[in-house]
Amino acid sequence: MKFGTKAIHAGVEADETTGAIMTPIYQTSTYVQEEVGSHKGYEYSRTSNPTRHALEKNLAAIENGKYGACFGSGLAAIDCVIKMLNPGDEVISTNDLYGGTFRLFKTIFEKYGIIFHFVGMTNPIAVEAAVNENTKLIWVETPTNPMMNIIDIEAMAEISKKAGAWLCVDNTFATPYLQNPLDLGADIVMHSATKYLGGHSDVVMGALVTSNDQIAKEMYRIQNASGAVTAPMDSFLVLRGIKTLHLRVQRHCENGEKVANFLGAHPKVDKVYWPGLESHANHDIAKKQMRGFGGMISFSLVGNKLQDAHKVLKNVKVFALAESLGGVESLIGHPATMTHASIPKEEREKIGVVDSLIRLSVGVEDADDIIEDLRQALA
Ligand SMILES: *Cc1c(COP(=O)(O)O)cnc(C)c1O
């Protein structure tokens, strides 16, 4: 089955009792058993719930994996992966990681004896150099936030296999419609379903997908034992969101390209970071592993003045100033004072997060209105 068909149908069957085409919201904590040990496959909703189960099967299908699991947030899904490790195990990750992931690694798991290394992953040699006999996990995010760096998933898979470590890819920015890390050699895919999968800025949720039986066993064990599960209503909303994922992402890509080209030609814009541009440093790798380049764009202003960036953020009307991304509505943010404010200025600038950098999550409104909004705000 092709992507759009799977997005709509995988994991979803007409309700047996009523024929309802939409998966019901099974708002129940427990399930009546006929006699001890005899039930219909569900015992308690932390362990399993039919609405969540339908979504988990759907997620596995659209990521070309065997097993899916949903969590209360993207971070709860990442938390599950790190809980598969033991004290003394080492993790290699990128130096421009999503801030929340960095905080989880450093402030929660480091004190339990797990060791994290952060390297520039666009250079596979730097990753190889950080490998030792304790390396158990390579954690990749691509494209990265907010610099849109592209990391070569196949190269990372080669390194992880040689090291006997697992490779996990945070596929939140790309979505399964544009990139399937399991097909490129990853062992686990992670999503913040809060973003494009949900797609309507109305749910916080995380997900993992794997085809590895051993990892799946641990994943479901921790999901049940730690209990950071998703609610039936939220599962329903994301299941509904995924039905239009391919349509939405197609439009995000089209609008992203138009906005990137507009910004690239604007006299007040200095640099534009969008993996679809030939000028992008990792454009070749993006072309190799992605089927499109999405709607996430960052750009800096000529003169690099903080006040100028703030003026643009204040003057936009279609764009909303907000954290998060991946919804139908266009959002605008300022990494230096929002998502990356906790990183010292010098460190921030080393990875490219300068004072005038602006990040866009280009939505699916009409491109003309989005571009006109940026034109008047830049003026
Ligand atoms: C938002 C995000 C997360 C965290 O997900 P939550 O659902 O907010 O917990 C992780 N990785 C990336 C790339 C994200 O954008």
At 112-159, the pLDDT tens digits run 999 999 999 999 999 999 999 999 999 999 999 999 999 999 999 999
Query: Within this chain, do residues 46 and 133 fall inside the same structural domain, yes or no?
Result: yes
How many residues would you count in the chain?
Answer: 379
Instruction: Give the model confidence (pLDDT) of 270-324 as tens digits.
Output: 999 999 999 999 999 999 999 999 999 999 999 999 999 999 999 999 999 998 9
Angstrom distance (rounded) from CA 121 to CA 127: 6
End residue of a domain, out of 242, 276, 296: 242
Query: Within this chain, do residues 276 and 182 fall inside the same structural domain, yes or no?
Result: no
Angstrom distance (rounded) from CA 24 to CA 366: 33
End residue of a domain, out of 211, 242, 273: 242
Residues 6 or more apart from 199 whose CB is under 8 A from it? 241, 242, 244, 245, 248, 326, 327, 328
Locate the ligand 1 atom nearest the alpha carbon of residue 172 and give its number.
Answer: 13
Question: What is the token pair recorded at 350?
Answer: 């080393």
Query: Within this chain, do residues 268 and 310 fall inside the same structural domain, yes or no?
Result: yes
Q: What range defines the domain where residue 28 resides? A: 8-242
Contact between 274 and 260 (Cβ < 8 Å): yes
| 2 located within any domain | no
Catalytic residues: 46, 98, 170, 195
| 275 located within any domain | yes
| 170 located within any domain | yes
User: Into how many domains does the chain fold?
Assistant: 2
Question: What is the token pair recorded at 46?
Answer: 């932390």
User: 303: phi > 0 → left, psi -120 to 50 → alpha, else beta; which?
Assistant: left
Q: How far is the CA of 207 from the centre of ligand 1 (A)?
A: 10
Atom 2 of ligand 1 has which residue's CA nearest to it? Answer: 192
Question: What is the token pair recorded at 34?
Answer: 């006929």
Q: How far is the CA of 281 from the centre of ligand 1 (A)?
A: 24
pTM higher than the cut 0.95:
yes
pLDDT band for position 260 (cuts 50, 70, 90): very high
Q: What share of the chain is helix, strand, coil (3-state, %, to 5)?
A: 40, 15, 45
| 60 located within any domain | yes
| 220 located within any domain | yes
Query: Within this chain, do residues 222 and 146 fall inside the same structural domain, yes or no?
Result: yes
Instruction: Give the model confidence (pLDDT) of 319-366 as tens digits.
Output: 999 989 999 999 999 999 988 887 788 888 988 999 999 999 999 999
Atom 1 of ligand 1 has which residue's CA nearest to it? Answer: 192
Q: How far is the CA of 298 from the centre of ligand 1 (A)?
A: 18
| 201 located within any domain | yes
Instruction: Give the model confidence (pLDDT) of 208-222 as tens digits.
Output: 999 999 999 999 999
Whether 186 shows a pLDDT value over 80: the answer reads yes
115: β partners: 90
Question: Among 192, 230, 234, which residue has the most ligand 1 atoms within 8 Å of its CB, making it the best to mutate?
Answer: 192
Angstrom distance (rounded) from CA 188 to CA 95: 20
Per the omega criterion (within 30 degrees of 0), is the bond before 146 cis?
Answer: yes
Q: Which residues contact ligand 1 via a Cβ below 6 A?
A: 73-75, 98, 100-101, 141, 145, 170, 172-173, 192, 194-195, 204, 206
Average pLDDT of the chain is 96
Query: Within this chain, do residues 66 and 139 fall inside the same structural domain, yes or no?
Result: yes
